[in-house]
Amino acid sequence: MTTRQGLAILGATGSIGQSTLDVVSQHPDRFEVIVLTANSRLAELSRLCLRHRPRYAVVGSPEDALKLEKALRAAGLATEVLAGPEALAQVAALAEVDSVMAAIVGAAGLAPTLAAVRAGKRVLLANKEALVMAGALFMAEVRRGGATLLPVDSEHNAVFQSMPADYAGALADKGVRRILLTASGGPFRTMTLEQMAAVTPAQACAHPNWNMGRKISVDSATMMNKGLEVIEAHWLFNAPAEKIDVVIHPQSVIHSLVEYADGSVLAQLGNPDMRTPIAHALAYPERIEAGVTPLDMFTIGQLTFERPDNQRFPCLLLAYRALRAGGSAATLLNAANEVAVAAFLGGQLPFLRIADVIKAVLDRIPVAGLSDLDAVMTSDAEARTAAAACVAAWS
């Protein structure tokens, strides 16, 4: 490669952002960090700017922008520091940016990710919530903008690697029978409902196999993460709900599988380390070193599989329900989940009530068609209000 790939890393201070910078650091000849963004952890962003010397940095507030700019100037850096959601959308579309790592958590990532898509960038998608809340519009913009969408979520990256080269269109035409998403089962896989009733945010965030941000850790504990991923797979691979199944695989070594008409099942395996899918998406279609420990089958010994338990983990079925309902249902599901998870993390809502909040929102708000982004944001806001009312009633 003669010219370096210009990168914008949205959500640089997060778990995915940091893993991305770790891979990037191993390949200074390939990648140039153009943009780093963060919402609040200013000291951490400042440290990352000193290390990677981006041309632009974006923070949440103008006050923080002034503070960061002062610190960077004092260190002799000319990085332009911007603030707020509009700046995020602006830097995602810069001419010198080739690829955008979309690693902001939650609905806040939608607008900047869409800006990258509209500008026809290579979009490395970690922010699954953006696709869940606005799937049809998002994919229409990908086609219109000529963007390349590369899945970073480990399951979708595994499916992408196991799919036929050109899977666009009907999966049946490519001989694909179904997609199997693997799930670790999370930290509460073997707990009874009675035990789950009393779990704390610290327990929910202590995932057995993956080290992740707090929101996705709780999503893994409720299994809503897998529900969001079923919807994500639907949009990424043009697969109907009945062709996407979930299998519990506690070792998190097989990251997902694709079953073909002839009986072949292709899977992607590796140690549970997000630097593998991140490196795959960064270098695609080439392969680069990621710094990941090679998989040792002899140490692993056994791989096991179970069916999901819908009684103890109702969130998975709620996600299938939203996917089948179409329209705004997944937008409502995602927004209600974000509110309920924040309330659980804030100590205002018991763990098992997270699913109750989401179900109540899906029951109460009729599904609407989503003609444009305004309609998405209206449904998102409506669901947040309804979910907050449930939290207030059940806290």
**Which stretches of the chain bind ligand NAD, using CB under 6 A?**
11-17, 38-40, 60, 103-105, 108, 126-129, 153, 210, 212-213, 215-216, 274
Residue nearest to Mg ion (CB): 153
Binding partner of residue 14 among ligand NAD, Mg ion, none, CB cut-off 5 to 8 Å per kind: ligand NAD
CB of 65 to ligand NAD, least distance (A): 13
Choices 74-82, 152-160, 163-171, 361-369; region in contact with Mg ion by CB under 5 A: 152-160
Token pair recorded at residue 239: 């697969």
Residue 141 interacts, among ligand NAD, Mg ion, none and using kind-specific CB cut-offs from 5 to 8 Å, with none
CA distance 27 to 7: 13
Task: Kindly provide the residue ranges of all beta strands, DSSP E only, lying in the chain, ordered along the sequence.
Answer: 5-10, 31-37, 56-59, 80-83, 99-102, 122-125, 148-151, 176-183, 244-248, 254-260, 265-269
Instruction: Choose between 231 and 274: whose C-beta lies nearer to ligand NAD.
Output: 274
> Can you tell me the distance from the alpha carbon of 117 to that of 10, in angstroms, rounded to the nearest whole number?
13
> In the chain, which residue ranges form alpha helices assigned H by DSSP?
15-25, 42-52, 62-74, 85-92, 110-118, 128-145, 154-162, 193-196, 201-204, 214-222, 224-237, 275-283, 297-300, 315-325, 329-345, 353-364, 373-394
**Measured from the CB atom, is 154 or 276 closer to Mg ion?**
154
Site residues (CB under 5 A) for Mg ion, limited to 176-235 = none
Residue for token pair 């056994």: 302
Nearer to Mg ion, 153 or 259 (CB): 153
Give the nearest distance from C-beta 156 to Mg ion in angstroms: 7
Question: Which one of Mg ion, ligand NAD, none interacts with residue 376, CB within 5 to 8 A by kind?
Answer: none
d(CA 304, CA 85): 44
Residue 260 binding target from Mg ion, ligand NAD, none, CB below 5 to 8 Å by type: none
d(CA 130, CA 196): 29
Q: Does residue number 338 form part of the binding site for Mg ion (CB under 5 A)?
A: no
Give the one entry of ligand NAD, Mg ion, none that residue 64 binds, where binding means its C-beta sits below a cut-off of 5 to 8 angstroms depending on kind: none
Q: How far is the CB of 318 from Mg ion (least distance, A)?
A: 18
Closest CA to 320 of 228, 389, 202, 250: 228
Q: Total residues contacting Mg ion (rule CB under 5 A)?
A: 3
Distance CA(126)–CA(364), nearest Å, equals 30
Q: Does 273 contact Mg ion by CB under 5 A?
A: no
The three-state secondary structure class of 277 is helix
Contact with Mg ion (CB under 5 A) among 32, 69, 141, 153: 153
Map the footprint of Mg ion across residues 14-73, applying CB under 5 A. Answer: none
Least distance from ligand NAD to the Cβ atom of residue 352, Å: 22
What's the rounded Cα separation, in Å, for the pair 130 and 108?
8
**Which among Mg ion, ligand NAD, none contacts residue 23 (Cβ within 5 to 8 A by kind)?**
none
75/295 with CB nearer Mg ion: 295
d(CA 273, CA 288): 15
Amino acid, single-letter form, for residue 41: R
Please identify, using beta-carbon distances, which residue of 46 and 154 lies nearer to Mg ion.
154
Pairing mode, if any, of strands 99-102 and 5-10? parallel
Rounded to a whole number of angstroms, the minimum distance from the CB of residue 20 to ligand NAD is 9
Residues that bind Mg ion (CB under 5 A): 153-155
